[in-house]
Chains A and B, each alone.
Chain A
């Protein structure tokens, strides 16, 4: 039996290497897609456009605005003269927010009252809006602090608790550094597409029918295919890692050999799942559609790639845990950003291995060497 598995694996390898479409999907598409998708998620905003409706026009308001736009991250797009202009600018996307300084601000602050400044944000892009708000908030606080030159003790009286933040693994909170390792997990699903297409293509073409009439068993066929795609998958991970580290500059703090090993683990899980799904399908097109809906889309949205998985929702947990991608994202972020080893990652590693073997065994059990 081992010989048959070997021979089927060898045949599959030849297919993968010789068929242009499959070769592309297994070896080239992952790295290519990573580049594309990473740009999609590099939402580290470097430049915000601001409109200012300064109704005070005092030296205070002017120095405030100067402080806001000092380092170039926030750019003053327009000094607004009238109220109507506010709407126009926001609607036509010329500015992301409008700062409205009320008349009499300087007097109020001089009296010791709290100055109230209105910010009208463009809510259509909440991510940018929150970031801009945070930026303005931070600068405002610093501006306020610089205005009051108070001794340390008084400061202590007024702001009793000081927070010192330390961001682990990703000190600049770079979206790119966070997303790229996660996206690696998503693009490494491509070999899974290829294996599902390959299985269904054999059914469509009729080569499968010929095999049914031979002593080849489901075990030989499935394990052989899996072995071939698994090895190719691990090889395909190399250009992907190179793109991440060299093109996007994402750090690889852990052990790259371990990453490749755990990639093999992931391949086991995701290819097992694909074989399981492809077992029920007989057309290539159906395979592509199903894989897209069941693997790709959930991997983008339910796996913890963007939003962390909701730990209190049972449904969300269930979906996330049965998806191989979720665990691989943990592994990927773990090795790239956290620099950890197997001790911290044994849970997802085990989950993937178990899942892979389980899917494979079930598929072997369900496999029929019969038509109809």
Chain B
């Protein structure tokens, strides 16, 4: 492969098969240095496997990948020195205190002396764990544990950081704080590769990739992804939710209906055409409606719609994407 120095992560037809399951299917990725890349997808989509392949802790069954310019199979150790990996399951030592965990990882990465002391105090401040530094890791709250885990991956100032669902199971406030930290890292030029099930987090990335059954369906800036949705969203608040839903489902041009609490989100092929039709239908049925308006589809809708499309098309070979060239 030609040496693209500006690429932090590069893959060519990267694949990994487990017995009969294709976990990652011919993945082509090109992540620039300094990007925050978000990998989104349902459970079993292949996100964790992808990250493991990129961190050089799993071998692909075919294809290749380069991280920080090094091949993941042949030059694994060179990669491991330059990256940080926060696995989905815990990689903290519960019996050890916060400071002991940090010291341990510092030892592993051969960070010592003055440099170590400075970095550790910075990281503690960064993660707001300074006052908890002597507490055992198991006695920290979920959010703090994740921040500690993150801090441990940063002790050696890696160029690239891989995070596998880092905020799962964490309360919203801590999640926000966590992403503030990631944001900060991004501004400092660290490349971030994050997998997440949370759509709002996907919106905070420079680019976002949707994975489904091992395939990368979409890979683009968040806004552009939303633009891909063929269809518009009508939001309304009907008096009788259930009946309204059943009624609207029968209308032509309705791609999808979702309930959001008391609201109905209706995906239609064309707002101009269908809005009046919709209003008429509901009126005819005697269902009162308030707050009818057109809104932008959210990331979630975009993804769900794309996945549905993919399922409907069967396994088409071309991922819908527009690479950054």
Contact = CB atoms under 8 A, between A and B. Distances in A.
| A, B from the same assembly | yes
Interface of A: 3-4, 6-7, 11, 14-15, 18-19, 205-207, 209-216, 369-372
B120 to A, nearest CB: 14
A255 B58 CA distance: 51
Contacts of A205: 89-90
B90 A206 contact: yes
Contacts of A370: 56-59
A7 B80 contact: no
B107 A4 contact: yes
Contacts of B92: 207
The residue in A4, A6, A212, A213 that gathers the most chain B C-beta atoms within 10 A of its C-beta is A213
B85 interface: yes
B57 to A, nearest CB: 4
The residue in B95, B109, B162 that gathers the most chain A C-beta atoms within 10 A of its C-beta is B95
Interface in B81-133: 81, 83-93, 95-96, 100, 103-105, 107-110
State the 6 A-B residue pairs at the shortest beta-carbon distance, nearest first: A210-B91, A206-B89, A7-B107, A213-B85, A18-B95, A212-B57
B57 A207 contact: no
Contacts of B91: 206-207, 209-211
Nearest to B77: A215
Contacts of B95: 14-15, 18-19
A18 B91 CA distance: 18
Nearest to A5: B107
B81 A206 contact: no
Contact of B108 (A4, A206, A207): A4
B57 A215 contact: no
Contacts of B96: 11, 14-15
Contact of B87 (A3, A14, A206): A206
B76 interface: yes
The residue in A14, A205, A206, A210 that gathers the most chain B C-beta atoms within 10 A of its C-beta is A210
A214 B90 contact: no
Given A214-B80, A372-B18, A11 B104 contact: yes
A368 B237 CA distance: 58
A210 B84 CA distance: 9
Contact of A371 (B58, B84, B108): B58
B55 interface: yes
A216 B162 CA distance: 18
A211 B109 CA distance: 11
Contact of A213 (B56, B59, B88, B100): B56
A215 B59 contact: no
B151 to A, nearest CB: 13
Contact of A214 (B52, B89, B108): B108
A370 B61 CA distance: 13
Contacts of B83: 213
Contacts of B77: 215
The residue in B57, B59, B110, B136 that gathers the most chain A C-beta atoms within 10 A of its C-beta is B57
A359 B251 CA distance: 72
Interface in B54-80: 55-59, 76-77, 80
Nearest to A209: B87
B110 A209 contact: no
A11 B57 contact: no
Contacts of B57: 209, 212-213, 369-371
A19 B95 CA distance: 7
A14 B100 contact: yes
The residue in B18, B80, B100, B108 that gathers the most chain A C-beta atoms within 10 A of its C-beta is B108
A347 to B, nearest CB: 40
B275 to A, nearest CB: 51
Contacts of B80: 213-215
The residue in B18, B52, B83 that gathers the most chain A C-beta atoms within 10 A of its C-beta is B52
B109 A214 contact: yes
A372 B56 CA distance: 12
B54 to A, nearest CB: 10
Contacts of B52: 371
A205 B138 CA distance: 13
A209 B109 CA distance: 16
A211 B104 CA distance: 11
A149 B191 CA distance: 106
A369 to B, nearest CB: 7
A213 B77 CA distance: 9
A7 B106 CA distance: 10
Contacts of A214: 80, 85, 105, 108-109
A213 B105 CA distance: 12
19 contacts: A7-B103, A7-B104, A7-B107, A14-B96, A18-B95, A18-B136, A19-B95, A205-B90, A207-B91, A212-B57, A213-B80, A213-B85, A213-B162, A214-B108, A214-B109, A216-B108, A371-B52, A371-B57, A371-B58
A364 to B, nearest CB: 15
Given A14-B96, A215-B110, A370-B59, 16 more contacts: A3-B107, A4-B108, A11-B104, A205-B90, A206-B89, A207-B90, A207-B92, A207-B93, A210-B86, A211-B91, A213-B87, A215-B108, A369-B57, A370-B56, A371-B52, A372-B18
Contacts of A369: 57, 76
A94 B175 CA distance: 75
Contacts of A6: 107
A106 to B, nearest CB: 79
Given A3-B107, A18-B95, A207-B91, A213 B55 contact: yes
